[in-house]
């Protein structure tokens, strides 16, 4: 299994424009990869993914409100490129197994240069508008929220889902290796910092 | 979440989900309690996940619809914010990622946004007993789209209360357009002052965010002060100081750090090679060629630095 040039080129633009959101300062060195993108793509395209060891990440404690904090992880830019390309190339395998978008509204995979990995910019409002309409025909609505979702997710569960979504072995192993490297070997927890990981949860 | 969604569907729950938030529509109060028990069990059995106790709620339909409206509406804190957001939306076409340049905005519209108005909006947020930081972060993101300087002073003055918005404020400051160079210099002085505050001293992320502004805007400058802080700085701060040197023609200062390249961490090395692009052609070629790079990112970065 190897990454293709289309996904790698898409990943370079995606990381440059969207990847780390507005939490982390933009990595200025990405300018160099954009300038010599064909060199970068040539070094990765068609190569064994297992040959690209995971790089050093940065982890910070960031205030959420006045009395709580959350951890935020910034991947090494090479890993951001590779992960973005992996998701771009194989994400449809996950998306095709999900319930329809009128059941599950968040992070629907539809990569584009303008908006990044996910399609709808109105998903949050669509979720609440649909809920508003649905509530007319019921007598009680239960609202609940999963506790500490990202930090509590097991790598093993993620791996099983990547297998079921027909991720090639090397891509699956590379993603799991990336997760394990950012949790110091602990088998749960997904790095928080960008939306890249949202699809695999 | 696919197995959890499938299991909830198989159990017959009429649900909608957005990330970690789940809504279930039930025919009776008893059914809603059974639904809660089912979800708790599914989450536990599938992935040993739990629900947030303080967020779980049972709604009657009318109350729920009010709740839905609150989640959807813009909920500006004042009429001023409402008008400002409408103006930004008009220029951005509603695209939250679009940066609107100063030249795109008509002088009349730019004048409508005053420092007093922006200050008033932010003050209204932070004067509340319980500050809505989610909403305030969202406001900073919108303001960053047009880079209006109106929030600079109030943000720097009130930083103690604005900690949870810190990253957004730094992004905002990086976005500011249409102010004079000498004002930037003053902002730089105030940012340096912030580095001495207890809040910033105690948080690595705050220091990184502040220092990153010096590597993105040449007008802020103050590089000599940053250089004097280098030896006592943590690795993340050192990386930003290297990048600030590049932005502020500090190539001669950078040269003195070549001999420490072998002991730098990967993020400092990455920044240092990037900065080497500004060294004289022969010098950078000789220096970069002494090192072996085996990761594609580093190989391409080194090639770019040698050839730029």
Query: Domain limits of chain B?
Result: 2-72, 76-179
Q: Residue B237: is it exposed, middle or buried by C-beta count within 10 angstroms (0-12/13-18/19+)?
A: buried
Decide if B52 and A18 are in contact by the 8 Å CB cutoff.
Answer: no
Q: Calculate what percentage of chain A has a pLDDT beyond 90.
A: 43
Average pLDDT over residues B126-147: 89
Decide if B167 and A98 are in contact by the 8 Å CB cutoff.
Answer: no
Decide if A77 and B297 are in contact by the 8 Å CB cutoff.
Answer: yes
pLDDT-derived band of residue B172, with 50, 70 and 90 as boundaries?
confident
Average pLDDT over residues B8-16: 92
Which chain B residue lies closest to A157 (C-alpha atoms)? B47
Give residue B192's pLDDT: 85
Decide if B47 and A136 are in contact by the 8 Å CB cutoff.
Answer: no
Give residue A123's pLDDT: 84
Average pLDDT over residues A46-74: 84
Residue B119 corresponds to which tokens in the numbers above? 């200050």
Q: What is the mean pLDDT of chain A?
A: 87
Give residue A20's pLDDT: 64
Give residue A21's pLDDT: 63
Model pLDDT for residues B91-124, shown as the tens digit of each residue: 888 777 778 887 888 888 888 889 999 999 999 9
**Contacts B214 to A, Cβ<8 Å:** none
**Contacts B305 to A, Cβ<8 Å:** 32
pLDDT at residue B167 is higher than 70: yes
In this complex, which of B16, B236, B303 lies closest to A103 when CB atoms are compared?
Answer: B16
Which chain A residue lies closest to B163 (C-alpha atoms)? A63
pLDDT-derived band of residue A22, with 50, 70 and 90 as boundaries?
low
pLDDT-derived band of residue A173, with 50, 70 and 90 as boundaries?
very high
Residues 140..179 of B with a Cβ closer than 8 Å to A: which?
141, 144, 163-164, 166-168, 170-171, 174
Q: How far is Cα A92 from Cα A100, in angstroms, rounded to an integer?
A: 13
B287 contact partners, CB below 8 Å, separation of at least 6: B258, B276, B279
pLDDT at residue B203 is higher than 70: yes
A24 contact partners, CB below 8 Å, separation of at least 6: A58, A72, A74, A193, B167
ipTM score of complex: 0.90
Average pLDDT over residues B76-81: 89
B10 touching A, CB under 8 A?
A: no
A89-117 as b/e: b if 16+ CB within 10 A: bbbebbeeebbebeebbbbbbebeeebbb
Give residue B288's pLDDT: 95
Q: How far is Cα A99 from Cα A96, in angstroms, rounded to an integer?
A: 8
Give residue B170's pLDDT: 80
Average pLDDT over residues B124-151: 89
Give residue A183's pLDDT: 84
Q: What is the mean pLDDT of chain B?
A: 88
Smallest Cα distance from A52 to chain B, Å: 7
Model pLDDT for residues A107-143, shown as the tens digit of each residue: 888 888 777 888 777 788 889 889 998 998 899 999 9
Decide if A154 and B48 are in contact by the 8 Å CB cutoff.
Answer: yes
Q: How far is Cα B237 from Cα A60, in angstroms, rounded to an integer?
A: 13
Average pLDDT over residues B268-288: 95
Give residue B73's pLDDT: 67
Among A8-22, A42-56, B288-302, the minimum mean pLDDT is found in A8-22
- Residues A189, A192, A195, A196: is their CA dihedral positive or negative? negative
Smallest Cα distance from A184 to chain B, Å: 18
**Contacts B61 to A, Cβ<8 Å:** 135-136, 138-141
Which chain B residue lies closest to A115 (C-alpha atoms)? B97
The more confidently predicted of residues B172 and B251 is B251
CA distances from A81 to A46, B21, B51, B299 (A): 15, 29, 34, 15
pLDDT-derived band of residue B271, with 50, 70 and 90 as boundaries?
very high
Query: How many CB atoms lie under 10 A from the CB of residue B217?
Result: 18
pLDDT-derived band of residue B200, with 50, 70 and 90 as boundaries?
confident
B235 touching A, CB under 8 A?
A: no
Most A CBs within 10 A among B3, B13, B19, hence the mutation to make, goes to B19
In this complex, which of B141, B163, B300 lies closest to A63 when CB atoms are compared?
Answer: B163
């Amino acid at each position: 299994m190897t990454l293709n040039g289309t996904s790698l080129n898409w990943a370079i633009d995606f990381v440059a424009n969207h990847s780390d959101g507005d939490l982390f300062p933009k990595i200025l060195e990405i300018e160099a990869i954009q300038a010599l993108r064909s060199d970068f793509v040539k070094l990765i395209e068609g190569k064994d993914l297992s040959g690209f060891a995971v790089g050093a990440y940065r982890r910070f404690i960031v205030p959420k409100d006045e009395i709580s904090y959350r951890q935020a992880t910034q991947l090494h830019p090479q890993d951001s490129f590779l992960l973005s390309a992996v998701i771009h190339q194989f994400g449809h395998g996950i998306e095709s197994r999900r319930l329809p978008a009128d059941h599950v509204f968040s992070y629907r995979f539809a990569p584009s240069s303008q908006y990044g990995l996910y399609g709808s910019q109105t998903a949050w409002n669509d979720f609440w508008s649909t809920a508003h309409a649905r509530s007319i025909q019921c007598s009680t609505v239960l609202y609940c929220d999963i506790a500490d979702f990202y930090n509590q997710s097991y790598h093993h569960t993620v791996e099983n889902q990547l297998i079921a979504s027909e991720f090639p072995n090397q891509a699956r192993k590379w993603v799991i290796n990336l997760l394990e490297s950012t949790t110091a070997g602990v088998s749960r927890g997904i790095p928080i910092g960008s939306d890249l990981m949202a699809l695999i949860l | 979440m696919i197995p959890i969604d499938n299991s909830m569907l198989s159990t017959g729950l009429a649900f909608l989900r957005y990330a970690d938030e789940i809504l279930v529509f039930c025919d009776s109060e008893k059914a809603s309690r059974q639904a809660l028990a089912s979800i708790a069990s599914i989450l536990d059995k599938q992935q040993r996940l739990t629900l947030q106790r303080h967020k779980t709620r049972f709604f009657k339909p009318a109350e729920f619809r009010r709740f839905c409206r609150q989640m959807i509406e813009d909920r500006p804190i004042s009429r001023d914010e409402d008008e400002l957001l409408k103006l930004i939306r008009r220029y951005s076409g509603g695209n939250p990622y679009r940066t609107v340049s100063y030249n795109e905005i008509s002088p009349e519209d730019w004048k409508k946004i005053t420092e007093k108005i922006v200050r008033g909006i932010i003050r209204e947020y932070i004067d509340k007993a319980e500050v809505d930081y989610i909403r305030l972060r969202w406001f900073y993101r919108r303001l960053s789209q047009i880079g209006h300087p109106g929030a600079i002073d109030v943000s720097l003055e009130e930083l103690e209360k604005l900690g949870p918005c810190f990253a957004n404020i730094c992004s905002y400051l990086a976005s500011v357009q249409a102010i004079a160079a000498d004002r930037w210099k003053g902002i730089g002085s105030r940012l340096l002052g912030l580095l001495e505050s207890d809040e910033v001293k105690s948080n690595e992320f705050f220091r990184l965010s502040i220092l990153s502004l010096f590597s993105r805007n040449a007008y802020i400058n103050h590089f000599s002060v940053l250089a004097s802080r280098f030896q006592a700085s943590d690795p993340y701060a050192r990386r930003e100081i290297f990048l600030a040197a590049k932005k502020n023609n500090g190539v001669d200062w950078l040269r003195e750090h070549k001999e420490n390249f072998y002991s730098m961490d990967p993020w400092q090395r990455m920044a240092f090679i990037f900065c080497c692009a500004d060294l004289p052609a022969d010098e950078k070629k000789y220096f970069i060629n002494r090192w072996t790079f085996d990761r594609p990112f580093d190989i391409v970065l080194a090639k770019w630095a040698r050839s730029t």
